[in-house]
């Protein structure tokens, strides 16, 4: 039997419409949610990501500010901009599009962003708060995955979950969010000895590897929920140029109980959760100002 398809586009439309209502209500109280985006250099993929984020903001009634710098910019200029945005009470979210050119210390840039405006959830303090189960901005991609599981009513409490990948932006925070939600989590990575032995007993598998069609049908337990975070551009053969995930979708969907496609799965939810974090930051600012 074919798996249920977890449609991230449809869920995004629904959540973004709720966020647009929340943004309109905040704007009516004089606090229009505002996201500032900093883009350094001319990487075409980064430019597309930023364009998509800005367009999604505009559509949801969230103000966006874009600051662009050339590839060889002195990092001091970007730090100055971040400091000014930190101090600007009309700005609720600050995002620096990664990767940055080599003259930048990425960690220092992320730490320079005010924790209260760190809507990407990459600041060490937000990461620490997340791991302690405190109020924090959750990184957008794993947050989007949790939202998809919740919307699809996939049971997380007590479930065996396997996360493949241990990056700071996806794998690790994904494991923390699943743990906080009551799953028993195994994190697998490039040094894991027998990956399939882990994935085969999982009720939930989240693949964040960056390798096309890496997770095969014989690695998945029948009925499992499979979430594909990967975004890979195929280079060779008849499919060159096509986007595909880390999951061998056509085969795995015949085994899994639920599966997210690529494109149209986690991708749109990532931007949606960025909007959600920005609206939440504006809501906190309004509450603090007694509005």
Catalytic residues: 53, 97, 120
Those residues whose C-beta lies under 8 Å from the C-beta of residue 241, and which sit 6 or more positions away, are: 233, 234
Cα 9 off chain centre by: 14
In the region spanning residues 114 to 153, those forming contacts with ligand NAD, defined by CB under 6 A, are 141
**Binding flag, residue 56, ligand NAD (CB under 6 A):** no
Among the listed ranges 64-72, 128-136, 226-234, 250-258, the one in contact with ligand NAD (CB under 6 A) is: 226-234
Residue choice 31, 91, 231, 259 for contact with ligand NAD (CB under 6 A): 231
Taking the complex as a whole, how short is the minimal distance between the CB of residue 76 and ligand NAD, in angstroms?
A: 28
| C-alpha count within 13 angstroms, C-beta hemisphere, residue 70 | 3
Nearer to ligand NAD, 26 or 271 (CB): 271
| Residue with the CB atom nearest ligand NAD in the bound state | 167
**Binding flag, residue 44, ligand NAD (CB under 6 A):** no
Rounded Cα distance, 40 and 73, in Å: 8
What is the DSSP code string of 126-192?
HHHHHHTT-S-PPPHHHHHHHHHHHHTT---TT-EEEEE---TTTHHHHHHHHHHTT-EEEEE-TT-
**Binding flag, residue 260, ligand NAD (CB under 6 A):** no
In the region spanning residues 195 to 224, those forming contacts with ligand NAD, defined by CB under 6 A, are 195, 208-210
| C-alpha count within 13 angstroms, C-beta hemisphere, residue 133 | 5
Contact footprint for ligand NAD (CB under 6 A)? 141, 164-167, 169-171, 188-190, 192, 195, 208-210, 229-232, 266-267, 270
């Amino acid at each position: 039997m074919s798996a249920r398809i977890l449609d991230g586009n449809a869920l995004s439309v629904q959540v973004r419409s709720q966020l647009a209502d929340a943004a309109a209500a905040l704007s009516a109280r004089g606090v229009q949610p505002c996201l500032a985006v900093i883009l350094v250099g001319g990487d075409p993929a980064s430019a597309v990501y930023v364009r998509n984020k800005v367009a999604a903001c505009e559509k949801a009634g969230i103000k966006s500010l874009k600051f662009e710098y050339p590839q060889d910019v002195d990092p001091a200029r970007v730090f100055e901009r971040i400091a000014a945005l930190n101090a600007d009470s009309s700005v609720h979210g600050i995002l620096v599009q990664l990767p940055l050119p080599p003259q930048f210390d990425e960690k220092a840039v992320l730490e320079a962003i005010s924790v209260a405006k760190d809507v990407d959830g990459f600041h060490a303090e937000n990461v620490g708060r997340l791991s302690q189960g405190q109020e924090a901005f959750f990184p957008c991609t794993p947050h989007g995955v949790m939202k998809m599981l919740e919307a699809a009513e996939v049971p997380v409490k007590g479930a065996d979950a396997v996360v493949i990948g241990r990056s700071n932006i996806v794998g690790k925070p994904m494991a923390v969010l699943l743990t906080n939600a009551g799953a028993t989590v195994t994190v697998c990575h490039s040094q894991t000895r027998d990956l399939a032995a882990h994935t085969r007993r999982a009720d939930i598998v989240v693949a964040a590897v960056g390798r096309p069609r890496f997770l095969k049908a014989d690695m998945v337990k029948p009925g499992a929920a499979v979430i594909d975070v990967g975004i890979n551009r195929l280079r060779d053969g008849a499919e060159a140029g096509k986007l595909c995930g880390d999951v061998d979708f056509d085969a795995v969907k015949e085994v899994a109980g639920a599966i997210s496609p690529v494109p149209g799965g986690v991708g749109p939810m990532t931007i949606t959760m960025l909007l959600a974090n920005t609206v939440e930051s504006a809501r906190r600012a309004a509450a603090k100002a007694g509005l």
